[in-house]
Amino acid sequence: MSVNIAKYMARVLGVFLVFLLFLACKTEQKINPEIAKIDMDIQVERFDQEFYTASENDLPNLKQKFVFMFPKEVHDSVWIQKMKNEEDQLLYKKADSVFGDFESLMPEFKLLFQHISYYYPKFKVPRIVTHISGLDYEYPVIYADSLLFVSLDMFLGSENEVYVSFPKYISQNYNKENMMVSVATIIFQSFYRMQHSRMFIDKMINEGKLLYALEILLPFVDDHLKIGYTQEKFNWAVTNETDVWKYFMEHELLYNSEASLNARFLDLAPFSKFYQASDNDSPGSIGKWIGWQIVRSYMKNNDVTLQQLINTAPDDIFRQSKYKPRK
């Protein structure tokens, strides 16, 4: 997958011009009036604020107010110790300095919930409960039907010192602006049961379905955030789409079922593994990007709803997508 300098610079210029046009269009972008008029009653409960500013005497009231936060088998002494834990207190203070009263995020939550309600009318707006997880990177957001738990300490800013032990390619998404992507993903996954397949092309398209859904549900969020790339890595993906697709085709990977392809092109990673000198320039999970472009092409060439897309088999999507990577 070699790209000569002249060819690369020409593509960069082309992408830059497209990017400028995109910015111009985005400033004029308006939310669908049908979506904007959907009424939203959003409730936010600041468990983190109430818990870490409370005293030992306040615990009974907290347990009564936030029953779901206090498993019965855990003794009160554990919670009292946690209230006073220096590391947890530090995380809370950092979260409080970043999020304040949380009001700045309410317009985005409203827009997201309006979009979900529009496409999934049976969706019930959950109560948002903010808390400090102790840097639980596996579950930054938890959705349980009527409750949405958001770990504020997982969105403090990628450069925050508390993430110093995290690999950069992981902590780069621990920003305030990444929260809506995490929330939308976990909620959408409750509607979407990914179809299991061992073939690489099917896996890519399954991931592409999710990314396309995020595109629809989060039109106010930049695309590079949806896929978890830095802007630089995102630009690389756009510029090198043709060469990546050519690599997949030449190495006959589309219908390959080797599990090693997951680590090379789908899993969270600092870069994708083509086994070439330029690998470090690439973003990880480039297969997700390609899957996204295939699904975009399918939706452009077929008159189907989001729900119909989700229920369509990956092979059908690929065959009917008429996908051709941009040149």
Give per-residue pLDDT as tens, 39-65: 999 999 999 999 999 999 999 999 999
264 vs 287: CA distance, rounded Å: 9
Tell me how far apart the alpha carbons of residues 283 and 265 are, in angstroms, rounded to a whole number: 9
pLDDT tens digits along 277-292 = 999 999 999 999 999 9
- pLDDT, mean over the chain: 91
Q: What is the pTM of this model?
A: 0.88
Q: Note the pLDDT tens digit of each residue in 228-256.
A: 999 999 999 999 999 999 999 999 999 99
Domain boundaries, the chain: 5-29+195-321, 33-191
149-204 pLDDT, tens digit each: 999 999 999 999 999 999 999 999 999 999 999 999 999 999 888 778 999 999 99
Using an 8 Å Cβ cutoff, are 38 and 110 in contact? no
Residue 258 CB neighbour total at 10 angstroms: 10
The average pLDDT across 250-270 equals: 97
Q: How far apart are CA 154 and CA 133, in angstroms?
A: 8
Contact present, 223 and 215 (Cβ < 8 Å)? yes
Which whole-number Å values give the CA distances from 182 to 29, 38, 60, 91, 118, in the listed order? 23, 22, 32, 20, 19
What distance in Å separates the CA atoms of residue 301 and residue 298, rounded to the nearest whole number? 5
Contact status, residue 167 vs residue 270, Cβ threshold 8 Å: yes
Asked whether the predicted pLDDT for residue 8 surpasses 50, the reply is no
pLDDT (tens digit per residue) in 189-229: 998 887 789 999 999 999 999 999 999 999 999 999 999 99
319 and 301 in contact (C-beta within 8 Å)?
Answer: no
For range 290-318, the mean pLDDT: 97
**Residue 281 to residue 296: CA distance in whole angstroms:** 25
